[in-house]
Structure 1
């Protein structure tokens, strides 16, 4: 084996090729000493001569573009998924199989044990707890816990909200991100997930995807990034349950018995929808500005959306709207949902994306628990006391 380093871009240039020729000559053909072998000059063919169909009119109608082909195949998979059952018992039996397949065959496996005991530190000036945890060996994540703003006479917060997003999580950003919830009487826990914010690998954008490389790595190891984000969220839920018994937050001391909510923004909102399927402790899930469908009525480009959301095989189980049914009958709030082109869906298309979930929630007589709106304000979040 020989390691040759050549400073170059994303290519396989002539010095690289000539080094390989020499190596192959020595070890596969028994010739030379392994030194680079000069490459003969190559005459490039006229691209027009290489085209199967030189222009659009000559191309048969059966030949389609890759986006059109992908959309057609994806739509066929969605069409093959069973419709929502008309009663709760049938859905709950179906949901058991969907959860198992989602966890093991799509997301790459979920936590089998709680993480080690988290490290906790208190910043008295900011009234902010820093919590560090290791969701699995070799990885450390941070979160910031803040007490609620209680009114006179109130003895406990309205609830505890775990918030996540794509940006860096710092004490300052945590204070800003949770401010509205704090004013509404909720304790907030702003957490970071792997490969986002400060933990995003220093990789360049590829074809408009800011996380192309790390998303690709996740696929290679059978653990797509969205599965790893779900993994982290589930571990954070375990951590906050353990930490609540250890910290006293002034008037917010009784945290262990508070209603628990998940609020994800951007890519983490889609992850929150999937995580809630495996977290019965979560009473409310909020997805803000998040991808809510992989397949729309027409082919669309993938733009302004993290590639880490792509999980091979997910459409065999359904689109986001069907997987969201696993949260029923607990509250699910989707605001400003977007398509693969990064554009916010109009209200009618948002409803169409969640028609399966709407049926399942109806079976539970919990129609009001599924909230589909275009903004947090329209959804009444954070709620007024």
Structure 2
């Protein structure tokens, strides 16, 4: 089936002054645009519990942003910035952060033209001893480089990043990371290290907001999707259907699958990463129904959810996944996804409502909003631009309800 998405239809003028460069002093003091089946209203984010229908199950992405940017130097003094994207040896995040002495990562390298050969290094003092981290390019690529790290300190790689690394705030903020970003570019519920960008819809939540919503009968579950640098890649194709989506790894527990099934029809995804995780599940479930296994080592393809039978429901998908995990004696599913949620008739089988920030023009995230609102994204963005809303990662929020 041929698919076409003209990106010029998803462009809008975003003045520089509307991009929030820094977070508000209070997380939940941000503005909240409420879109309910075409009607638009304005509240404060702290009012979210009064806006959402009763009995909703909110799904958070509990990934934690790592201090992925390391500034190193060549013996000549040339400054090289290494941005750690994804572990290769060991290949999963947990073991990579626990590695001692040596590990291999896929990285983006700043000032790459100055790093033709040899090692770059950083010296530092830890517990009164001088220590050394060295990095060499093991394999060169067009955009990403495989970089091997070796270090002398008796510390894990995760501990080294915490000590030496910097939080990789989005490039469109136009500034270096500052002390405030170490806490405010993390959600209050972040737990599992692995992202190089925050799931920013969750930045508005505070423990007080969550506690107040629990008292009103809302429930909360968590998934983990590690956000990659590909989330910042612009769509360069005039036809977005030719844009190759990046791969992101996710994890969901059997207990969360059961909770989703119990409240299906009342599931509110907090952020596009939670949406992508939840709406990837039916494709994995369909693999179980048709082939006996989710084949989780193979990422959910960009267009795979579009090819599912229209009659295959979210309830059936969650039952198939939970049943598979129970039969296999597994308590969680680890997989990855490349799905593009776009206004091409995408069927939302799990997600009912979405909490999300305001996204860049001509981005895949804006396509997701357009898909959910059945093309009605422009009045939402026109209202936000005309009523003083702040945009992008540290900006204001919206709740979208069909």
User: Which range, TM-score by smaller chain?
Assistant: under 0.3
Structure whose residues are more often strand by fraction: 2
- The structure showing larger relative contact order (alpha-carbon pairs under 8 Å, at least 6 residues apart) is 2
Structure whose residues are more often helix by fraction: 1
Q: TM-score, normalised by structure 1?
A: 0.25
Q: TM-score, normalised by structure 2?
A: 0.24
Which has the greater radius of gyration?
1
